[in-house]
């Protein structure tokens, strides 16, 4: 389970990330989840094999401030989130303008739940049951 | 004043096993700035994972990477087991270590061979890959697969290693180490090789940590970080000793990988000797709920899977952060200020795996 999670607001983001850097945490990565009405942004840090997470609930349509000026290592994953979830990320130290992972003609924000996928993945394979049953 | 030029290095380049472009801003032969351009092999695996059953995702996870495939399925299974409070039988934990370390050996031999090829030592490349075949034979003999093993399952493993197979593995390891002893001096002591690697692509300890470097790239710069120390699977019960170096250059990264070959062989021997008899899997019922960040030490470094279950058979989110993704910012730092002729060696020395980086 995910332990050591701190819920933060947009105002606290830069302060908390800066604090993590001052406390000698290493930036591990970021995770974005689509919650339908908002995006759940998780910042993962590590120090001596102990993880620390910051959780930011970002309402849809709101821009996300980049932390790449504090942790440069975050710049690539922020560009990826911008591509795959359609979130505007402001203050990026390197801005790929939505063309980091995706190319021209690619689906827009394909990782959002509203995007069903392409090809065979449009099939609805959601079902209930327990492990051990035959796969569809 | 020297005019600046931008050179596209890749996506198709003889030294790159997979497509990635490095846009190099040059002043004469010196690199002023480097920018990676990815997206050539993005497969949307994270999206597919949400559409598949969480048991099917074991197979999907194994196919994220065509080199360290077993470790992807292992990390995924460990994450799901954590979410579902599944206790894996002791023998399965040891067997996972055996296959993971065999995988590490094949991966390290693969990149050492590619490195030799990158600086033009083709005979060494062929000899290292010839030895790698002996490692692949171990995997084929014990699982039936040479790279995609398909033996990791939620709750344990699908195959056991018989006493005869264990004897075979030990014999193969002896042969591998015997052959490496005759080949590696050409990599470790050769004057030309040292000229190509020592002092090239230097990454200091502080910069490596600051930029989030992982695996041999971080350890070669003196960052003592190897998740096997945290004791997942059966590592906590085995004699694991981390390999580090201080120089932070391409030679140090190569040395770390060479020494890790011996560490892996020792871990396999120790795991086979210490593995208890008993079941290799436990039945799993129910569906995953909650969220976890599962981590293991892959050949290239720390592999992270964020897994979020919602109580159904489909995962809410499956996010993959591979070690190569983490090593891209350090690569950009290493390239800045270097000579164009050194770019292939520096790029290969982070052991880039682009398909798993882009998923």
Could you report the per-residue pLDDT of A49-85, keeping only the tens digit for each?
Answer: 999 999 999 999 899 999 999 999 999 999 999 999 9
pLDDT band at residue B95 using 50, 70 and 90 as cut-offs: very high
Tally of structural domains, chain A: 1
pLDDT in tens, B167-207: 999 999 999 999 999 999 988 888 988 998 999 999 999 99
**Are B329 and A72 an interchain contact pair (Cβ–Cβ within 8 Å)?**
yes
- Residue of B358 and A6 predicted with greater confidence: A6
* Residue A11 is assigned to a structural domain of this protein: yes
pLDDT at A131 over 70: no
Position A126 in a domain: no
With 50 as the cut, is the pLDDT of residue B66 above it? yes
Interface test with A, best of B59, B158, B291, B324 (most A CBs within 10 A): B291
What whole-number distance in Å separates Cα of residue B85 and Cα of residue A57? 28
CB-based contact B317 A33, cutoff 8 Å: yes
Query: Which residue of B284, B291, B316 is in closest CB contact with A2?
Result: B291
The predicted pLDDT at position A134 comes to: 42
What's residue A135's pLDDT?
42
Inspect the interface and report whether the beta carbons of A29 and B55 lie closer than 8 Å: no
With CB atoms and an 8 Å threshold, state whether B51 touches A125.
yes
Across the interface, do B290 and A2 touch by the CB < 8 Å criterion? yes
Tell me whether residues B53 and A53 touch, CB distance under 8 A: no
For residue A120, name the pLDDT band (cuts at 50, 70, 90).
Answer: low
Residues 6+ apart with CB under 8 A from B248: B202, B203, B204, B205, B208, B220, B221, B222
Could you read off the pLDDT of B45-58 as tens digits, one per residue? 888 888 888 999 99
Report CA dihedral (B221, B223, B226, B230) to the nearest 10 degrees: 170
Does A134 reside within a domain?
no
Q: Which of A31, A73, A127 sits opposite B306 (nearest CB)?
A: A31
Any domain includes A60: yes
Q: Show residues of chain A in contact with B35, CB under 8 Å.
A: 94
Cross-chain Cβ contact B227/A49 below 8 Å: yes
Distance from CA of A72 to the nearest CA of B (A): 7
Q: Which residue has the higher pLDDT, A103 or A89?
A: A89
Residue A130: what pLDDT? Answer: 53
Query: Is a pLDDT exceeding 80 seen at residue A122?
Result: no
pLDDT band at A118 (very low <50, low <70, confident <90, very high): low
Distance (Å, whole) CA A96 – CA A110: 17
Model pTM score:
0.91
Burial group, residue B100, by CB count within 10 angstroms (0-12, 13-18, 19+): buried
Quote the mean pLDDT of chain B.
91
Mean pLDDT taken over chain A: 85
The CA distance from B321 to B218, in Å, is: 16
State whether A117 and B287 contact (CB < 8 Å).
Answer: no
pLDDT at position B27 over 80: yes
Tell whether the model's pLDDT for residue A136 goes beyond 50.
no
Question: Could you tell me the two tokens for B118?
Answer: 């990158």
pLDDT surpasses 80 at A128: no
Q: Does A70 touch chain B (CB under 8 A)?
A: no
Per the CB < 8 Å rule, is B47 touching A121? yes
pLDDT for residue B357 is more than 80: yes
DSSP structure class, residue A121: G
Closest CA of chain A from B48, distance in Å: 7
What is the mean pLDDT of the segment spanning A103-116?
82
Residue A71 and residue B316: Cβ atoms within 8 Å? no
pLDDT higher than threshold 90 for residue A117: no
Q: Which residue has the higher pLDDT, A3 or B71?
A: B71
With respect to residue A16, please indicate whether it lies within any of the assigned structural domains. yes
pLDDT at A123: 57
What are the phi and psi torsion angles at B56 (to 5°)? Answer: -65, -30
pLDDT at position A108 over 60: yes
pLDDT of residue B15: 80
**φ, ψ for residue A37 (rounded to 5)?**
-95, -10
| A77 chain-B contacts, CB cut-off 8 A | 321, 325
CATH number of residue A35's parent domain = 3.30.460.80
Q: Is residue A93 part of a domain?
A: yes
From chain A, pick out residues whose CB is under 8 angstroms from the CB of B44. Answer: 110, 117-118, 121
pLDDT of residue A2: 84
Residue in chain A lying closest to B56 (CA):
A135
Q: Enumerate the H helices of chain A as residue ranges.
A: 10-22, 75-85
Q: Do A123 and B52 touch (CB under 8 A)?
A: no
Residue A133 scores a pLDDT above 50:
no
Yes or no, beta carbons of A111 and B47 under 8 Å apart = yes
pLDDT attached to residue B163 = 94
DSSP state of A73: G
Using the Cβ of A10 and the Cβ atoms of chain B, whether some distance falls under 8 Å is answered with no
Pick the residue from chain A with its C-alpha nearest to B35: A94
User: Domain for residue A132, yes or no?
Assistant: no
The answer to whether A36 contacts chain B (CB < 8 Å) is no
Note whether ipTM > 0.95 here: no
For residues B207-222, give the mean pLDDT: 94
Note the pLDDT tens digit of each residue in B120-163.
888 999 999 999 999 999 999 999 988 888 899 999 999 999 99
| Averaged pLDDT for residues A12-40 | 93
Task: Tell me whether residue A107 is in a domain.
Answer: yes
Q: Which two tokens stand for residue B204?
A: 């200091």
Chain B CB contacts of A125 below 8 Å: 51-53, 314
Task: Kindly state whether A38 is in contact with chain B, defined as any CB-CB distance less than 8 angstroms.
Answer: no
User: In terms of residue numbers, what domain contains A41?
Assistant: 5-120
CA distances from B285 to B80, B81, B291, B314 (A): 12, 11, 18, 14
pLDDT of residue B22: 87
CA atoms of B167 and B174, how far apart (whole Å):
11
């Amino acid at each position: 389970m995910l332990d050591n999670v701190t819920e933060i607001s947009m105002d606290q983001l830069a302060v908390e990330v800066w604090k993590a850097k001052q406390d000698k945490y290493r930036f591990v990565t970021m995770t974005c989840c689509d919650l339908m009405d908002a995006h759940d942004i998780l910042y993962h840090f590590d120090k001596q094999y102990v993880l620390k997470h910051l959780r930011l609930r970002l309402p849809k349509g709101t821009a996300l401030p980049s932390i790449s000026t504090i942790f440069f290592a975050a710049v690539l994953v922020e560009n990826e989130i911008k591509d795959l979830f359609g979130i505007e990320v402001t203050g990026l130290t390197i801005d790929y303008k939505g063309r980091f992972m995706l190319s021209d003609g690619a689906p827009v924000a394909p990782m959002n739940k509203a995007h069903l996928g392409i090809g065979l993945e449009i099939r609805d394979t959601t079902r209930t049951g327990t492990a051990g049953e035959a796969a569809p | 004043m020297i005019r600046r030029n931008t050179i596209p290095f890749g996506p198709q380049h003889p030294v790159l096993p997979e497509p990635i472009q490095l846009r190099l801003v040059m002043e004469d032969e010196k690199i002023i700035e480097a920018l990676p351009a990815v997206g050539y092999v993005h497969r949307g695996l994270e999206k597919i994972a949400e559409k598949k059953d969480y048991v099917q995702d074991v197979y999907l996870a194994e196919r994220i990477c065509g080199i360290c495939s077993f470790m992807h399925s292992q990390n995924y299974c460990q994450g799901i087991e954590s979410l579902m409070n599944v206790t894996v039988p002791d023998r399965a934990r040891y067997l996972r270590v055996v296959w993971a370390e065999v995988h590490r050996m094949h991966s390290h031999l693969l990149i050492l061979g590619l490195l030799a090829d990158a600086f033009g030592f083709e005979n060494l490349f062929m000899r290292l890959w010839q030895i790698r075949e002996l490692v692949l034979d171990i995997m084929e003999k014990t699982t039936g697969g040479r790279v995609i093993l398909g033996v990791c399952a939620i709750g344990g493993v699908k195959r056991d290693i018989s006493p005869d197979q264990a004897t075979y593995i030990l014999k193969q390891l002896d042969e591998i180490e015997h052959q490496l002893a005759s080949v590696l001096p050409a990599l470790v002591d050769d004057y030309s090789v040292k000229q190509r690697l020592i002092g090239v692509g230097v990454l200091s300890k502080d910069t490596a940590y600051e930029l989030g470097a992982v695996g041999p790239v971080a350890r070669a710069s003196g960052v003592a970080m190897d998740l096997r120390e945290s004791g997942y699977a059966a590592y906590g019960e085995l004699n694991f000793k981390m390999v580090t170096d201080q120089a932070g250059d391409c030679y140090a990264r190569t040395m770390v990988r060479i020494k890790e070959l011996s560490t892996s062989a020792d871990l396999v021997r120790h795991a086979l000797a210490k593995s208890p008899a008993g079941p290799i899997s436990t039945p799993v019922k129910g569906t995953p709920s909650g969220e976890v960040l599962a981590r293991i030490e892959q050949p290239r470094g720390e592999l992270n899977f964020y897994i979020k279950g919602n109580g159904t058979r489909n995962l809410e989110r499956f996010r993959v952060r591979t070690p190569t993704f983490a090593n891209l910012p350090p690569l950009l730092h290493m390239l800045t200020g270097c000579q164009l002729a050194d770019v292939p060696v520096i790029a290969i020395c982070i052991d880039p795996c682009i398909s798993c980086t882009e998923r």
